[in-house]
């Protein structure tokens, strides 16, 4: 319809908007075009009639999920993302649509979004903030049942801020976006949603209030009955408060009861791997913005409000802590990240073993249909069928495992050639934008070679991602690029945060390197790393390199995206790669948390020189690198399904959402009586748990078993409020041991004798008695973090 607009924007909305009526009339008379449109309509109607996975797997389930995220990376047609968090959220929505999971998503519509990157003549990064016109993106005003455009009021100090509501369709899923650029607002308030992650601390707090409180009120205005709120990072934490506010107002119960009633229905996913990455707000700012709201709408004091987001040091209010204290489940985004997160939140669970700090894990995935190339899609469709990513993935490994080496290698050749063409065109376009001469622009059409091992490093430029490792020894890298027998070619892309001078210097160093005559044809830096560029890179890369400083990679999903295209990974053993790596699937780096930059860089060069490059160029009589193709096949068969959002979303549904929905309904029964009983129990436990005292145990060996007896004094605490366990730390990677002890006798002085017959091959000295809170339906230790140990 309009290939120039499509090539530059990938925005079908703009294609329709900017195509002349005369062109549309001509196309309407083109029988081939009309037939293609009708085929697409039939395919869409057929898909809509097919019962999706959720409907078939859980036909009796009643579930409604609201998903809150500060950013969404769905398409360049709707650029509301900065990086991996948003791309993950976009892939999540697409997969929820594929699987038919009933989800409504909430986000913000930014007037500018995240910055766009360009490179100056001296190699430095330039930032631009193009305006986003709502009429140019595929959204419409959200309306009520009468068709009136929706606006919500968010309480701010001395005023209400009005937010307009917009709606985008992501397949079956609705994405609702809030925007404060409303004429009723003052100039400052109109700018709250001006820029993603822009401004200072106060603007960030304002945005998070619009997302959380405004988002919940939008759901109320839409009449959407929500069972589960999924908080994608702590930015959305304030929904916890406003969700409880609805119960306070509707049922007339205290805030603590309302929070207990709604808490099981909140799921908090943390993506942050370092303490400095959490948002922190000065207590005075929280009181300024939420003090009156807390008193008038929640019925709590400013001190109680601050306590929900404070830690032992009481130095700052952290939305992540509010999210944790207001959720029934918390998860990290990889198993390694769960270990890191338990350390980050350990101070909120004093004296609890680190392994029992309540942070689980759901490893991220990618929406594979968004990232496979046309040639990869053809191979997958012919091998596994068109609906392969919309079901339970059970047949994929066997089907892909049977693919012939020649077919896989042919796909890889086509993918690489396509990437080379794309890079040449994009580089030429960037050179034109910088005002280069036609002769200089022509150089772009000679870079790279479709026959050479193609390596990609594309990440957000930040110190902990270590983008300079590959450039640490420039002479050594140059030798790899220009080797006459076994050369490699390198594509680098990435943005530095506008305020990160060190990262900007890294960008400049890479730009300077690729401009050298010695490597100009073999190394390219592409500016403005966005979804479109990422899609092309993951489709064409033979090898994806990732070099984060362990353990600061929460998960990482870029390397997952190459799998569906037959690409391989060379990565630090961090994030998702710890779970994925096996010697026949790709290559690892050390994974050491304390390796020096010199050692890490040398390890990277050696892995390339000794293992990766030789294997790519070791060919059989058909010019196929058999060992390399075996890795491709194994990655596609084993890893692509495991690290898809299909698996991830099903894990959230079956491991979190359905049980959360049941729990929140149980607590709302009998006019919230279970929640009131829970709050009363919690108050008693908090006041009396310190009275618990253990006496010295009596241990008797009985063959391969032990009888372990311990006397415990509970003071005024109700015995039904406590569970006595025998505990031992995990060892050699095994989980901790928890063995319930049984009450054998109660003495006249009120002490109670607990016992257990334990069969174990471990020394009995490994075991310790302890007391933890107990209440039917309580989430321990999230809802009660007391613990008492036998001394």
Helical H segments across 348-473, by residue range: 368-371, 374-384, 396-401, 405-433, 438-443
- Rounded-to-integer distance, Cα 528 and Cα 126, Å: 10
Examine the pLDDT at 370 and tell me if it is beyond 90: yes
Helical H segments across 525-623, by residue range: 531-540, 558-563, 576-580, 597-607, 613-617
Are 739 and 723 in contact by the 8 Å Cβ rule? The answer is no
User: Per residue in 430-451, pLDDT tens?
Assistant: 999 888 899 989 999 999 999 9
Length of the chain: 791
The predicted pLDDT at position 733 comes to 80
The predicted pLDDT at position 747 comes to 85
Helix (H, G, I), strand (E, B) or coil at 205: helix
The predicted pLDDT at position 372 comes to 96
Examine the pLDDT at 592 and tell me if it is beyond 80: no
Q: How far is CA 47 from CA 31, 41, 647, in A?
A: 24, 10, 20
The predicted pLDDT at position 392 comes to 84
Are 380 and 641 in contact by the 8 Å Cβ rule? The answer is no
The predicted pLDDT at position 698 comes to 95
528 backbone dihedrals φ, ψ, rounded to 5°: 60, 60
User: Per residue in 553-573, pLDDT tens?
Assistant: 999 999 999 999 999 999 999
DSSP state of 256: H
260 backbone dihedrals φ, ψ, rounded to 5°: -65, -35
| Two structure tokens written together for 481 | 């690029």
Examine the pLDDT at 46 and tell me if it is beyond 90: no
- Rounded-to-integer distance, Cα 639 and Cα 184, Å: 51
Helix (H, G, I), strand (E, B) or coil at 229: strand
Question: Architecture of 692-789 per CATH?
Answer: Sandwich (2.60)
Examine the pLDDT at 676 and tell me if it is beyond 70: yes
User: Per residue in 390-431, pLDDT tens?
Assistant: 888 989 999 999 999 999 999 999 999 999 999 999 999 999
The predicted pLDDT at position 198 comes to 81
| Per-residue pLDDT band at 591 (split at 50, 70, 90) | low
Q: Which stretches of 32-90 are assigned E, i.e. beta strand?
A: 65-69, 72-75, 78-80
User: Per residue in 135-176, pLDDT tens?
Assistant: 999 999 999 888 899 999 999 999 999 999 999 999 999 999
Which has the closest alpha carbon to 422: 433, 434, 414?
414
User: Per residue in 229-252, pLDDT tens?
Assistant: 999 999 999 999 999 999 999 999
Q: To the nearest whole number, what is the mean pLDDT of the chain?
A: 95
For the chain, percent of residues with pLDDT exceeding 70: 100
Q: Which fold has domain 373-643?
A: Rossmann fold (3.40.50)
Q: How far is CA 279 from CA 274, 282, 291, in A?
A: 11, 10, 19
DSSP state of 764: G
Examine the pLDDT at 312 and tell me if it is beyond 90: no
Are 667 and 777 in contact by the 8 Å Cβ rule? The answer is yes
| Per-residue pLDDT band at 224 (split at 50, 70, 90) | very high
State the DSSP H helix or E strand holding residue 97, giving kind and residue range, or none if neither: helix 84-99
- Rounded-to-integer distance, Cα 570 and Cα 562, Å: 11
- Rounded-to-integer distance, Cα 675 and Cα 695, Å: 34
The predicted pLDDT at position 43 comes to 87
C-alpha of 1 from chain center: 36
**Please, which residues bridge with residue 143 across strands?**
149
Examine the pLDDT at 759 and tell me if it is beyond 80: yes
62-109+139-364+657-663 maps to which CATH number? 3.40.50.2000
Examine the pLDDT at 471 and tell me if it is beyond 70: yes
> What is the pLDDT averaged over residues 640-664?
97
- Would residue 649 be called left, alpha or beta, if left means φ above 0 and alpha means ψ between -120 and 50 degrees? alpha
| Per-residue pLDDT band at 44 (split at 50, 70, 90) | confident
Are 254 and 299 in contact by the 8 Å Cβ rule? The answer is yes
- Rounded-to-integer distance, Cα 108 and Cα 238, Å: 14
Examine the pLDDT at 8 and tell me if it is beyond 90: no
- Rounded-to-integer distance, Cα 522 and Cα 454, Å: 9
Q: What is the pTM of this model?
A: 0.95
CA 288-291-294 angle, to 5 degrees, is: 150
Token pair 């084993």 in the structure block, residue: 638
Examine the pLDDT at 386 and tell me if it is beyond 90: no
> What is the pLDDT averaged over residues 675-691?
96
Q: Which residues contact 316 (CB under 8 A, 6 or more apart)?
A: 280, 281, 282, 283, 310
> What is the pLDDT averaged over residues 251-262?
97
Token pair 């109109």 in the structure block, residue: 190
For the chain, percent of residues with pLDDT exceeding 90: 89
- Rounded-to-integer distance, Cα 42 and Cα 34, Å: 12
Handedness of CA 456, 462, 464, 469 (dihedral sign): positive
Number of Cβ within 10 Å of residue 40's Cβ equals: 10
The predicted pLDDT at position 589 comes to 92
| Two structure tokens written together for 264 | 């099981």
What is the three-state SS of 501-530? HHHHHHHHHHHHHHCCCCCCCCEEEECCCC
């Amino acid at each position: 319809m309009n290939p120039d607009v499509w090539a530059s924007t990938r925005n079908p909305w703009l294609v329709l908007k900017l195509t002349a009526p005369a062109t549309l009339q001509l196309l309407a008379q083109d029988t081939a075009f009309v037939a293609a449109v009708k085929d697409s309509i039939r395919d869409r109607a057929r898909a809509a009639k097919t019962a999706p996975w959720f409907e078939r797997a859980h036909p009796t389930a009643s579930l409604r999920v609201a998903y809150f995220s500060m950013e969404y990376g769905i398409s360049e047609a709707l650029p509301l993302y900065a990086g991996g968090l948003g791309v993950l959220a976009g892939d999540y929505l697409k997969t929820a649509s594929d699987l038919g999971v009933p989800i409504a998503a909430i986000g913000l519509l930014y007037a500018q979004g995240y910055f766009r990157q360009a490179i100056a003549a001296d190699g430095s990064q330039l930032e631009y903030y193009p305006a986003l016109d709502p009429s140019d993106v595929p959204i419409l005003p959200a309306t009520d049942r009468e068709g009136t455009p929706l606006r919500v009021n968010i309480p701010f100090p001395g005023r209400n801020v009005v937010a307009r509501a917009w709606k985008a369709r992501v397949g079956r899923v609705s994405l609702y976006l809030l925007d404060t650029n409303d004429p009723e607002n003052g100039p400052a308030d109109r700018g709250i949603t001006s820029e993603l992650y822009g401004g200072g601390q106060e603007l960030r707090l304002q945005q998070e209030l619009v997302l959380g409180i405004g988002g919940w009120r939008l759901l109320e205005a839409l009449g959407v009955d929500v069972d589960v709120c999924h908080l994608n990072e702590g930015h959305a934490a304030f929904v916890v408060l406003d969700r409880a506010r609805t119960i306070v107002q509707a049922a007339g119960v205290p805030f603590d009861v309302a929070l207990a009633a709604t808490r099981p229905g909140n799921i908090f996913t943390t993506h942050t791997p370092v303490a400095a990455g959490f948002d922190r707000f000065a207590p005075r700012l929280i009181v300024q913005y939420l003090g009156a709201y807390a008193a008038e709408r929640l019925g709590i004091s400013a001190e109680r409000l601050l306590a929900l987001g404070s830690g032992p040091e009481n130095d700052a209010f952290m939305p992540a802590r509010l999210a944790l204290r207001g959720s029934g489940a918390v998860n990290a985004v990889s198993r390694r990240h769960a270990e890191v997160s338990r350390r980050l939140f350990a101070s909120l669970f004093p004296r609890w073993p680190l392994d029992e700090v309540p942070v689980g894990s759901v490893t991220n995935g990618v929406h594979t249909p968004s990232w496979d190339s046309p040639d990869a899609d053809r191979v997958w469709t012919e091998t596994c069928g068109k609906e392969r990513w919309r079901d339970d993935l059970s047949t994929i490994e066997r089907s892909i495992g049977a693919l012939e080496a020649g077919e896989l290698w042919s796909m890889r050749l086509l993918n690489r050639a396509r990437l080379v063409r794309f890079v040449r065109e994009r580089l030429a376009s960037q050179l034109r934008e910088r005002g280069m001469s036609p002769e200089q622009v022509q150089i772009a059409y000679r870079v790279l070679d479709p026959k050479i091992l193609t390596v990609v490093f594309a990440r957000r430029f930040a110190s902990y991602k270590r983008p300079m490792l590959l450039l640490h020894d420039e002479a050594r890298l140059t030798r790899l690029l220009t080797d006459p027998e076994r050369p490699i070619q390198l594509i680098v892309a990435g943005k530095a945060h506008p305020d990160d001078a060190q990262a900007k210097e890294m960008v400049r160093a890479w730009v300077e390197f690729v401009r050298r005559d010695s490597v100009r044809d073999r190394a390219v830096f592409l500016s403005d790393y966005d979804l479109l560029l990422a899609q092309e890179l993951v489709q064409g890369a033979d090898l994806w390199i990732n070099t984060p400083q362990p353990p600061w990679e929460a998960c990482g999903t870029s390397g997952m995206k190459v799998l569906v295209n037959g690409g391989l990974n060379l990565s630090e053993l961090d994030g998702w790669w710890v779970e994925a790596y096996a010697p026949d699937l790709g290559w690892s780096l050390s994974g050491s948390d304390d390796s020096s930059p010199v050692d890490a860089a040398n390890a990277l060069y050696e892995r390339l020189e000794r293992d990766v490059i030789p294997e790519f160029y070791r060919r059989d009589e058909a010019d196929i690198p058999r060992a390399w193709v075996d890795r491709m096949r194994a990655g596609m068969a084993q890893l692509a399904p495991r690290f898809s959002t299909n698996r991830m979303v099903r894990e959230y549904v079956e491991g979190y959402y359905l049980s959360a929905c049941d729990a929140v309904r149980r607590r709302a029964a009998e006019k919230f009586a279970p929640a009131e009983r829970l709050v009363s129990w919690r108050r008693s436990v908090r006041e009396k748990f310190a009275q618990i005292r253990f006496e010295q145990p009596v241990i008797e060996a009985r063959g391969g078993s032990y009888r372990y007896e311990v006397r415990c004094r509970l003071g005024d605490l109700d015995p039904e409020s406590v569970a006595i366990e025998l505990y031992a730390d995990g060892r050699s990677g095994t989980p901790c041991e928890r063995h319930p002890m049984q009450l054998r006798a109660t003495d006249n002085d009120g002490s109670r004798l607990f016992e257990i017959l334990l069969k174990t091959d471990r020394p009995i000295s490994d075991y310790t008695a302890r007391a933890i809170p107990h209440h039917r339906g309580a989430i321990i230790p999230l809802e009660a973090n007391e613990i008492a140990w036998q001394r």
